[in-house]
């Protein structure tokens, strides 16, 4: 099941990037898969938590992944996969409040799915 969830996250996030940016990078697919798998376990761990709190927690989780991966692929390796340095409130050009807000709404949808269709532990 974990491989399936990872694959959905990898392909789903890669597809979203292609849809909105016109391209993606293989590291973003790995990050998308890792994020969805982490969010899956997060939602299972806290089944009775409100969807708003789950969405906020999910946004923080994704932002942490984004920052960590950005430090490696953009700043350490210099691959320039993304750069938020022109966006307000950014941290080292890797994360910014605008995208954390987008992750919140993405996670809100995921939390609602988990609420409507609970998964057995």
> Domain coordinates of the chain in residue numbers?
2-116
Angle between helices 26-45 and 51-70 (to 10 degrees): 150
Report the largest interatomic distance among the alpha carbons of the chain, rounded to a whole angstrom.
Answer: 44
pLDDT tens per residue, range 27-66: 999 999 999 999 999 999 999 999 999 999 999 999 999 9
Banded model confidence at residue 117, pLDDT cuts 50, 70, 90: confident
Could you give the 3-state DSSP secondary structure of residue 9? helix
Residue 25 reports pLDDT greater than 90: yes
Residue 113 reports pLDDT greater than 80: yes
Phi and psi, residue 105, nearest 5° = -70, -35
State residue 73's pLDDT score: 99
Q: How far apart are CA 64 and CA 9, in angstroms?
A: 16
DSSP state of 87: S
């Amino acid at each position: 099941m974990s491989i399936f969830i990872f694959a959905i996250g990898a392909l789903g996030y890669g597809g979203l990037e292609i849809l909105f940016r016109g391209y993606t990078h293989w590291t973003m697919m790995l990050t998308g898969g890792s994020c969805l798998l982490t969010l899956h376990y997060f939602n299972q761990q806290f089944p009775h938590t409100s969807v708003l709190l789950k969405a906020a927690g999910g946004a923080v989780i994704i932002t942490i992944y984004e920052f960590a991966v950005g430090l490696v692929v953009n700043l350490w390796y210099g691959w320039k996969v993304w750069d938020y340095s022109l966006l307000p409130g950014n941290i080292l050009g890797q994360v910014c409040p605008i995208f954390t807000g987008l992750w919140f709404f993405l996670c809100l949808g995921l939390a609602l799915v988990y609420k409507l269709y609970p998964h057995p532990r």
